[in-house]
Amino acid sequence: MADRFGGGVATLWRIVFAAVGWFALITQFVLMVAGHAPAEAAARVVNYFSFFTIWTNLMMALALTLPVVADGTRAGRWAASESIRAMVTLYAVVVGLVYHFLLAPFWNPQGWLMFVNILLHYVMPAAFLADWILFTPKGRLMWIDPVRWLSVPTVYGVWTLIHGFISHWWPYGFLNVDALGLKAIATFTGLLIFFLIVGLAIVGLDRTLGRKNRPEVSI
């Protein structure tokens, strides 16, 4: 595994934060679903998997786990690829920023829920961003990549609309089409543009760091 500090440090980092990520996901699931009647619990399971935060943390947990437990396999190589790790970094950064600036001021969780929220929205995004900066080879991303990375949030938006129109439950207030109408669609479009801008910044940083790390050739 190529990184500037050696494979052992990267592996240890990924083991630790993979464990943190899976713990946070499982705990959040239990807090959301446990103790409810079967029908309500089933609806809550669907709702749990309807948060982009959960989608992103699942991708982070897998991207941290697979290069360790499946190194050399197709899944391990996929998770370790530069484009996939940059894509997940993009989603992690957006999750952290959107939560901090748009959701946290109106959300006051307590106890275990507060602890898990910190893990999902701050600790894991920061850990994965650090993983990408420190341990992922640089200089191979292309400027078209951020456009490709919009596929996951676009699919998420379609799912949110379908699920929301059927259940009238919306994972985030700013996406509540029942209450906001076209304003929610405009907000989501703005978020896609934000994804694109952050993605372009990641590619720019990748190319800058790639040039710095490229060995000089003397003639």
149 in a domain, yes or no? yes
pLDDT at 214: 58
Tell me the whole-structure pTM to 2 decimals.
0.93
pLDDT at 211: 81
pLDDT at 50: 98
Determine the distance from the C-alpha atom of residue 157 to the mean position of all C-alpha atoms in its chain, rounded to a whole number. 15
173 in a domain, yes or no? yes
Q: Which residue has the tokens 């080879």?
A: 137
Residues of the chain with pLDDT under 50: 1-5, 216-219
User: What are the tens digits of pLDDT across the range 198-213?
Assistant: 999 999 999 999 987 6
218 in a domain, yes or no? no
For the record, the structure tokens of 5 come out as 């500090």
36 in a domain, yes or no? yes
2 in a domain, yes or no? no
Mapped to the 3 state alphabet, what secondary structure does 124-164 carry? HHHHHHHHHHHHCCCCCCCCCHHHHHCHHHHHHHHHHHHHH
Domain holding 115, by residue range, is: 7-213
User: What are the tens digits of pLDDT across the range 138-168?
Assistant: 999 999 999 999 999 999 999 999 999 999 9
CA distance readout (Å), 181 to 102, 110, 174: 18, 31, 10
219 in a domain, yes or no? no
Structural domains of the chain, count: 1
pLDDT at 217: 42
